[in-house]
Amino acid sequence: MNDLPFHHSLHVIEEECKGCTHCMKRCPTKAIRIFGGKARIFSDLCIDCGQCMAVCPNDAIEVEQDSFEQLNAYHLRIGIVPAVFFAQFADTYSEGQICSALYESGFTHLYLSETGIDILDKLGAPEIEHDLPLISNFCPSVQRLIQIRFPLLLENLSRVRPPAQMVALFAKAELKGQDDSIGIFYITPCAAKIAQIKTEGSEENSLFQGVINFDTAYNKVRTFLEMHKHQE
């Protein structure tokens, strides 16, 4: 962990907030308080877990993300997609059709984020053989939670790169020399991962040029699939 100013992806839409306290009661780090009838998120306590957004009955909490239009700034546009994204669609659509829709959305190359696990397995992880207990660093919210509430456990966090980072490095190496204009975008349902990628100076920020939320990618892909469902 480091002391970089952490960028937060969750924000309160004051016009929609009714001050109902649902978010405040659910927050695991007590990062939310009500002032003047509106929820306020304290950045020094927020871990971007998204629980507040999940329980808000007024859709008054939004998550920051990039748009597909930002892909146009790059010649090679890499999408790193979790396997669970494909499970969001009906069985009537094949993985090939979903990938075609993602290509039509602007990506030139697609990689499964889980490929990073295979890469790590091939490279080996020496730290697993000692210094236990070891806490996975895969979830940015867990990292932040430990940093805020359990700092004595920081030394137990794994130093192995998360799978998505490994895939980003692999993609850059594989496409090296083809074009200098490479943009790597991560599709994720996780507000904490969005925050991590948006934190300037972080490893994720240097590896990824953007991040797209699941719902935006899903809606775009589903619209394309619906429009072309009768085509062979």
Locate CATH 3.40.50.1780 in the chain.
Answer: 68-125+160-227
Sign of CA dihedral 89, 95, 100, 102: positive
Residue with tokens 């507000």, as numbered in its chain: 191
Cα-Cα end-to-end distance for the chain: 50
pLDDT tens-place values along the chain, 232 residues long: 455 678 899 999 999 999 999 999 999 999 999 999 999 999 999 999 999 999 999 999 999 988 999 999 999 999 999 999 999 999 999 999 999 999 999 999 999 999 988 888 787 766 555 566 888 888 999 999 998 999 999 988 888 888 899 999 999 999 988 877 899 999 998 999 999 999 888 888 889 999 999 999 999 999 999 988 766 5
Domain with CATH 3.30.70.20 in the chain: 10-63
d(CA 232, CA 228) in angstroms, rounded, equals: 8
The pTM for the full model equals 0.86
For tokens 């997609």, the residue is 81
62 phi/psi in degrees, rounded to 5: -115, 160
Report the topology of domain 68-125+160-227.
Answer: Rossmann fold (3.40.50)
CATH 3.90.550.10 fits 10-63, yes or no: no
